[in-house]
Amino acid sequence: MNTDHLAIMIQESVKKYGDKTAMRYKEAGQWKSITYRELGERIRTVAKALLEEGIEEGDMIGIFSQNRPEWSIADFAILSIKATSVPIYATNTGKQTEYIVNDADIRLVFVGDKVQYEKVMSFKDGQKQLGKVVAFDRDIPLKGDDSACFDDFMNQGARSSKDDELDKRLSDVHTGDTATLIYTSGTTGDPKGAVLTHSNFFNQFYALDERFNVGTDDRSLCFLPLSHAYERTWSYYIFRCGAENNYISSPKEIVEYMPDVKPTCMVSVPRLYEKIYGTVYDRLEKAPENKKKVFKWAIAVGKDYEFKKKDNKPIGPVLKLKHAIADKLVLGNIRTVVGGRKNFFSAGGAPLSREIEEFFFAAGLLICQGYGLTETSPMISCNSPRAFKFGTVGKPIKGCEVKIGEDGEILARGGNIMKGYYNKPEETEASFVDGWFKTGDVGVIDEDGFLRITDRIKDLIITAQGKNVAPQHIETMVGKDHYIEQIATIGDKRKFMSALIVPSFPALEAYARDNNISYSSREELVKKPEIIEFYRQRISDLTQDLPNYEKIIRFSLIAEEFTQDGGELTPTMKIKRKVVAEKYRNIIDQMYRE
């Protein structure tokens, strides 16, 4: 038996950490906790219930739910009987869910709430292989004998006498066993199930061990979807280290929860940091001139202080005094917003602007930006507290080699790379070249070995003048604005760059009230000449340092958000550019006719 297996790992943590809190979650407004010992008991109980349902080794089991303790409990239980866990994004439509259930040949599925339960039940009758549907929520009206609530499922496991069978399966685990199928977001076509082994995840753990210090005193906020490899791998690592995982079912509640939980480390996507940064600077715009000066002075002092610390340069008594004052007046308040000091933040999934990295760094909050894909489980490279360079995604991790192909594409190989795409041999073959995985991203490795991403190969825009434009770079610069919620840049084979912009309506509506701009609907608001001019000026200021061929010449404000249900977003909130271009073709064409 190889101990590099997630089911063995959680057993060892249960034994080692016992009565220490493993999980916290809110129920009816109150925080509740689950110890490592209780976690181990619940995993074992659910594993026996799965055996009672006749689940065989290698069977595919779905988890279709928001983040909650039951998600992780079910996941570890699935792995404990040598079955394969197949997460499904909680926001997926019924059609998207049905595709995964069919493609993976799922035998049993755990669902979170009534919405997810109804989506599964809408197509279940046509599924021969799909047996029981187990609902985490207690108050869902269930239909038929093939549905059960999680509490009853647990009772079934508690009554089971299959302990010997469970122990037999646990004694025969191997690090090369398939742990999970994680479906790609389907930006350019149907989602593909990346086959990840237990060994893939342990490759990540050893890389994290080398770069970060996480222990029993640490607290993490589990708010990115567990159906994504990023939060999933990180949560596994939290349990491996005996730390505490705090579950948030809705990512929109993250800013509210941070001062409450006071996480010491966590993973996130850039949008969280952009939102905090944008809110701070929006308030600054409205502040008196003397407060603006104090704020800018404090940030400058914070940067000077933190960069001298990073570079091991002497910090004199004058700078120490300045920093103490800056910290009391400004920097400490920024840390309060995110729940106090952190060992580190992590950012991935999309580019984060250097300006925002340095803003948080000035406040004593290090964001370690990293890079990877579902297929790389997920990390390829990352910055760390001991080695970081802003504007990059760090150095390649231990056990993963990286090189730049002839066309600028980032290629990777190592223990973090998937086995392939489930039941898709042609797509698997096409994703490798001479044993190297083709990431689809363009990048460079600098003289110090740090990797910098420039764009997605498939996203690169080539203007009518033949200029190559990386849309993510522009979207990162503009998207950090407090008044912008979403942006999609346009320009392929066009004379100039344009953009579709979804305003942050809470901020925009407050601006309209403050400036006595009347309107009866969002559709009317975004057409107001003074609102359009307001955005024109902000976009101009944000992109002033770009070359002319990258500047947004025209834009249209959109009254409705891009959504997954509308087809414009993937489950990981990435924009489907072809869908957006088709859906808003008339608006886009109009921008180029005017």
Which tokens is 117 given?
């339960």
Q: What's the distance, CA 205 to chain centroid?
A: 18
What's the CA gap between 577 and 500, in Å, rounded?
11
* pLDDT, tens only, 82-128: 999 999 999 898 999 999 999 999 999 999 999 999 999 999 988 88
Q: What is the DSSP string of 363-402?
A: TT--EEEEEE-GGGSSEEEE-BTTB--TTS--EEPTTEEE
Closest Cα to residue 399, out of 419, 421, 379? 379
Interstrand relation of 244-247 and 21-27 (parallel, antiparallel or unpaired): parallel
Mean pLDDT in order along the chain per 10 residues (594 residues): 88 98 94 98 98 98 97 98 97 92 97 97 90 96 94 97 97 96 77 96 97 97 94 98 94 87 93 90 91 96 96 95 97 92 88 93 96 96 95 96 94 98 96 96 95 83 82 90 94 92 95 95 96 96 91 95 88 84 93 84
Q: Give the pLDDT of residue 594.
A: 62
Q: Give the pLDDT of residue 582.
A: 92
Side chain identity at residue 127, one-letter code: Q
DSSP strand E in 46-177: where?
60-64, 84-88, 106-111, 133-135, 147-149
Q: Give the pLDDT of residue 138.
A: 93
pTM for the whole thing? 0.89
Q: Quick count: other Cβ atoms within 10 Å of Cβ 477?
A: 21
The one-character DSSP state at 567 is: T
**Three-state SS across 297-351?**
HHHHHHHHHHHHHHCCCCCCHHHHHHHHHHHHHHHHHHHHHCCCCCCEEEECCCC
Q: Give the pLDDT of residue 1.
A: 56
What's the CA gap between 259 and 247, in Å, rounded?
14
Which tokens is 216 given?
């029993």
> Going from the N-terminus, what domains does the chain have, and what CATH number goes with each?
6-174+212-249 (3.40.50.12780), 270-456 (3.40.50.12780), 460-593 (3.30.300.30)
Q: What's the distance, CA 346 to chain centroid?
A: 10
Closest Cα to residue 91, out of 71, 67, 60, 126? 67
* pLDDT, tens only, 268-310: 989 899 989 988 988 898 899 999 999 999 999 999 999 999 9
